[in-house]
Chain A
Amino acid sequence: MTYTGLPASIETIRRVREDPHRLGHRAHGAAEPVPGAGHGETGPARKRIIVGYGFWIYLLSDIVLFSCFFAAFAVLREATAGGPTISQIVDLPRVAFETTALLLSSYTCMLSYAAMNARSRLWTQIFLLITGFLGLVFVLLELQEFIELAARGITPQLSGMLTSFFGLVGLHGLHVTLGGLWLATMLAQVQVKGFRPEIVHRLICFNLFWHALDIVWIGIFTIVYLIGSGA
C-alpha cells in the first residue's frame, strides 16, 4: 500500500487551482520580531537566554518541591504526639540573625553580578566570597539550632510535627549547602577561566538559585518561625 509517488500532494495542487480561496487555510497576524529572544517567528534564542530560561524552569520545579514540604508542615503542625509544640522550639533571635545573614548574602550576590557585568574579576570574587561567608554563617547557625534541639532531646523521631519541621528547614539548609559547594566551584572557575560565556551563564544561574533560596527562606521564616512563635 506504500505509495512511491506523492499522489495526495499532486491532487492537492489540482484542488488549489480549482479552489483559489484555499478554504480553511488560515493566515497569521504579523509578529513583532525580537531577534534572538526566541519569541514568535524569529528563530532560536541566544544561548544566554536559553540557559537562563531553562534554569528558571528548574527553579519553578524546585519551588514545587519546597511547597510539598510546606504542605507537610501545615498538615503535621498540630501532630505533636505529646511532644513539644512549635512555639516551644522556636528561637526567634537566632532566626533573626540567620535571616539577616541570608538576606545580606543575597545583596552581595547581586553585587557580584554587577561586578561580573562590569567584568571585574577582583570584585566579582570578593562579593562572591562574602556571599559564601554569609551563607556559611547561615548554615552554621542552623546547625547550631539543630544541635541544641537535639541536646534537649528534640529530634525528628519524636513526632510528626518535628519531622515536618526538620524536613522543611533541613531541605532549605541542604539547598544552601549545595549552593555553597556550587559557589566554591564558581570561585575557582572564575579565577582560572575568566569571564567566558559559559562561566557568565553559570554565574547568572547561580544568582537566580541564591535569590530563589532567599524567597523560600522568607516563606519558612514567616510560616514556620514567626507564625509558630505566636502559636
Chain B
Amino acid sequence: MFGKLDLSAIPFSEPIALITSVVVILIAVGVLILITVKGWWPYLWHEWITSVDHKRIGVMYCLLGVVMLIRGFADAIMMRTQQAVAINAPGYLSPEHYDQIFTAHGTIMILFGAMPLVLGFMNFLVPLQLGVRDVAFPTFNSVGFWLTASGALLINVSLFVGEFARTGWLPYPPLSETAYTPGVGVDYYLWAVQISGVGTLITGINIVTTVLKMRCPGMSYLRMPVFCWTALASCLLIVATFPVLTATLAMLTLDRYLGWHYFTNTAGGNPMMFVNLVWAWGHPEVYILVLPAFGIFSEVFSTFSGKPLFGYRSMVAATLFICIVSMMVWLHHFFTMGAGPAVNTFFGISSSIIAVGTGVKIYNWIFTMYGGRVRFEVPMLWSMGFIFTFIIGGLTGVLLAIPPADFVTHNSMFLVAHFHNVIIGGVVFAVFAGLEFWFPKAFGFRLHEGWGKAAFWFAFIGFWVTFTPLYVLGLLGMTRRLQHINFEEWRPWLYISVIGVGILILGVISQATQLVVSIRDRQNLRDVTGDPWDGRSLEWATPSPPPFFNFAVMPDVEGEEAYWGIKLRAVETQQLSPEPTYEPIHMPVNSPVGFYTAFFTSVFGFAMVWYIWWLAILALVAAFAGFVVFAWRDVHEFEVPVEQVASVDRARRAARAALLDRLGTQEVLP
C-alpha cells in the first residue's frame, strides 16, 4: 500500500534532523494558522498563488530562493563547524549525516537557492525593461514557478521522511547506483531536481520567446538593456543544456528503478558517460547563473555612475561569447580522469578563453565608472565587492583550468574556495545588489541603507575570512567532503574559517534586520517617484510598485536607455510629454493550473521515491486532467477599463510632475 514507506523512515535516532524537522513543521503550521485566523487565504489565493503576473511570480521566485539560501547556509554552518571540531575526533555529525548535508548544501544552493533568485530577477525585470506587459506565456510561467517550488518541497521533505542523497551534489555513478546507495536519498535528489528542471526549462523558453518576440515599439536588439541580453543568453543556455540534465537523470533513474545499465559497474554500463553528460549541463549551468548576475552589475554600475554603460556593444558581444564558449569547456571538471594531453590542452585553453569575455566585462565596468558620478549606495558597494572578489575567483579559476595545476588542486579545498569565490562573489553579491536595487520597484519603499551597508561589510569580510583559509588548506593537500580530519596542522585554518562563518552570520542577521526595519519604517522610505535611484531603463518609468499592466501605454523607444531619454526631455522642457490617448488593456486571467499541477507533481515525486505506484499513477492522471480542464476554459483575458488605466497613469504623471516642479523651484536647472 505504501511502498517502502513506514514509520522507521522518520529519523528518530538523529536528533539534529528530527528537531529541525519538528521546528520547521511547527513554524509552517503556525504560519498556516496565522493566515487562516487573519483570513488572508482569499488574498493569497487570488493575488499570489494563482497569479500569472510576471512581477508577482518573480517576487515569489526570489522569496523561494531566499528561504532556500537560508536552508543551504544552515547546512554550510554545520559543515564548517563539524570540520573544525572533528580534527582527530569524531565531531558531532556521523558520516551518513554529514554526507547528506554537503550533498543537500550543493544541490540547494545551486538549484533551489541561486536558480530561483536568478529566474526571479529575469521574470520581474525582462518585461518591464522591454516595455511590455507580460512574458510570452504567463500561465506557463506560473506552472514553471510552482514546479520549482515543488522540487524544493521534495528536498525539504527528505529531511523528515527518509534521507537525502549522500553522493555529492552531482551523484556520480557507480556510487549513486542502487548497488552502492540503496536508500531513497538519491531518489529524492532525482525527482526533486527533475521536477524543478522542467520548471526551469519552461521559464527558459518563456524568456527567450519574450526577448526575441515581445519588445515594445522601437526596442531593437541593440537598444535592450544589458540585463535583457544576459537574460537571453542565460535562457538560451537553459534551453540548450537543461534537457541534457533531464536526460542524464532519467538514465540514472532507469538504472535505479528498473535495473538498466546506462552507468552501472556491470553489464557494460559506462559511468564515464554520466560524468561527461552531467558536466555538459553542469558547466553551462554556472553561466546560466552568472550571466544574469553580470547583467545586474551592468545596470548598477551604469545607474550609480550616472553614465551609460561603457562599451555596450562590447558587453553584448562578450555575453554571447561566454554563452557559446561555456558549452565547450565541460571536460575541465575531470582533467584528472586521464583524457590525454591533447584533449586536456583543448579544454584547458577553451576554459581560459572564457576569462577573455569576463575580463572585457570587468574593464568595461571600470570604464563605466570613469568620468562618472559614482554614488556608493548599497547596490554599488556589492558591485565593488564583486569586482574585487570575482577577479580573484577568476584567477584561481584559470589556475584550475591549467591541467598540470589542476592535477594537484582538483577536488581539493582549493577548488571549493574557488567556486565559492565566483559563485558567492559573482551570483550572491549580484543577488543582494539586485534585491537592494529593485526592492523599491517591487514594493514601493526603499530598504534601510545603514543595515544594508552593515550587511555588505559583514558578508564581504566574512566571505574572505571563511574562504582564504580554504585556499591554503587546498594547497596543503586537504580534499573536499571530509567528515573528519586526520591532520593536526590544518586546525588553525579550519578555526579561522569558522570565525569567517560567524561574520557571515552577522551579515545574514543584518540583512534580516534591514528587512524588518525597512518594513517598520516603510512610510519614511516610501518611493513616491517610481525612480528612486535616478534610473535609466524602462522599469523606472513605471510607478513603484508598477500596476499589474506595467505600462498604461506601451512606450515608443527612440534610443538606448529608453527611460533616460524620456527623463532628459522632460527635465529639459520642464514638462512631461503630452498625455497619451488611453485605451482599454487586455490582460491574462489568473489561473490555478500552476499550483494544481505542482501539487500533483509533488505527490507524484513523493510516490515515486517511496515506490507507491498507485499514487504515482493517480497523481499523473490528476495532473493531466487538470491540464485538459485548463485547456477547456473559455475566458483567457479580461479587459482593464479605460478609466482604470487612465486614473493609474494620471497618478503616475502627477508624481512625475511634482518631481519636476521640485527641481524647477530648486533652480538647479542650467
Measured CA separation A199–B599 after assembly (Å) = 27
Checking B259, B273, B376, B564 against A157 with a beta-carbon cut-off of 8 angstroms, the contacting residue is B259
Given A4-B662, A76-B262, A161-B268, A44:B244 Cβ within 8 A: no
Task: Tell me which residues from 65 to 88 in chain A have a Cβ below 8 Å from any Cβ of chain B.
Answer: 65, 68-69, 71-72, 75-76, 79-81
B557 closest partner in A (C-beta): A41
Measured CA separation A79–B273 after assembly (Å) = 13
Given A3-B375, A163-B262, A75:B449 Cβ within 8 A: no
Checking B246, B259, B267, B375 against A1 with a beta-carbon cut-off of 8 angstroms, the contacting residue is B375
B-side interface size class: 35 or more
Chain B residues lying within 8 Å of A45, measured Cβ to Cβ, are 213-214
Chain B residues lying within 8 Å of A163, measured Cβ to Cβ, are 254-255, 260-262, 269
> What secondary structure prevails in chain A residues at the interface with B?
helix
Q: Are A3 and B534 in contact (CB under 8 A)?
A: yes
Contact bitstring B524-539, A, C-beta under 8 A = 1, else 0: 0000000011100000
Checking A68, A75, A161 against B243 with a beta-carbon cut-off of 8 angstroms, the contacting residue is A68
Tell me how far the C-beta of A4 lies from the nearest C-beta in chain B, rounded to whole angstroms. Answer: 7
Chain B residues lying within 8 Å of A231, measured Cβ to Cβ, are none
Q: Are B243 and A64 in contact (CB under 8 A)?
A: yes
Q: Any chain A CB within 8 A of the CB of B217?
A: yes
Checking A7, A44, A64 against B214 with a beta-carbon cut-off of 8 angstroms, the contacting residue is A44
Q: Any chain A CB within 8 A of the CB of B572?
A: yes
The interface stretch among A47-55, A90-98, A144-152 is: A47-55
Chain A residues lying within 8 Å of B559, measured Cβ to Cβ, are 25, 28
A44 closest partner in B (C-beta): B214
Measured CA separation A25–B261 after assembly (Å) = 60
Q: Any chain B CB within 8 A of the CB of A153?
A: no
Chain A residues lying within 8 Å of B532, measured Cβ to Cβ, are 2
Tell me how far the C-beta of B441 lies from the nearest C-beta in chain A, rounded to whole angstroms. Answer: 15
Q: Any chain A CB within 8 A of the CB of B663?
A: yes
Contact bitstring A8-25, B, C-beta under 8 A = 1, else 0: 111111101100000011
Which of A10, A44, A76 is packed against the most chain B CB atoms within 10 Å? A44
Chain B residues lying within 8 Å of A202, measured Cβ to Cβ, are 631
Checking A12, A156, A185 against B568 with a beta-carbon cut-off of 8 angstroms, the contacting residue is A12
Checking A16, A160, A185 against B628 with a beta-carbon cut-off of 8 angstroms, the contacting residue is A185
Q: Are A41 and B220 in contact (CB under 8 A)?
A: yes
Given A8-B534, A44-B132, A57-B239, A69:B213 Cβ within 8 A: no
Q: Any chain A CB within 8 A of the CB of B670?
A: yes
Checking B239, B251, B266, B306 against A167 with a beta-carbon cut-off of 8 angstroms, the contacting residue is B251
Q: Any chain B CB within 8 A of the CB of A62?
A: yes
Q: Any chain B CB within 8 A of the CB of A58?
A: yes
Q: Any chain A CB within 8 A of the CB of B105?
A: no
Tell me how far the C-beta of A58 lies from the nearest C-beta in chain B, rounded to whole angstroms. Answer: 5
Tell me how far the C-beta of A165 lies from the nearest C-beta in chain B, rounded to whole angstroms. Answer: 11
Q: Are B449 and A2 in contact (CB under 8 A)?
A: yes
Q: Are B270 and A76 in contact (CB under 8 A)?
A: yes
Chain B residues lying within 8 Å of A167, measured Cβ to Cβ, are 251, 254, 260, 262
Contact bitstring B78-122, A, C-beta under 8 A = 1, else 0: 000000000000000000000000000000000000000000000
9 contacts between A and B (CB under 8 A): A6-B534, A28-B559, A44-B215, A62-B243, A65-B243, A81-B261, A156-B261, A160-B268, A167-B254
Nearest 6 Cβ contacts at the A-B interface: A79-B268, A160-B268, A8-B306, A68-B247, A38-B213, A43-B217
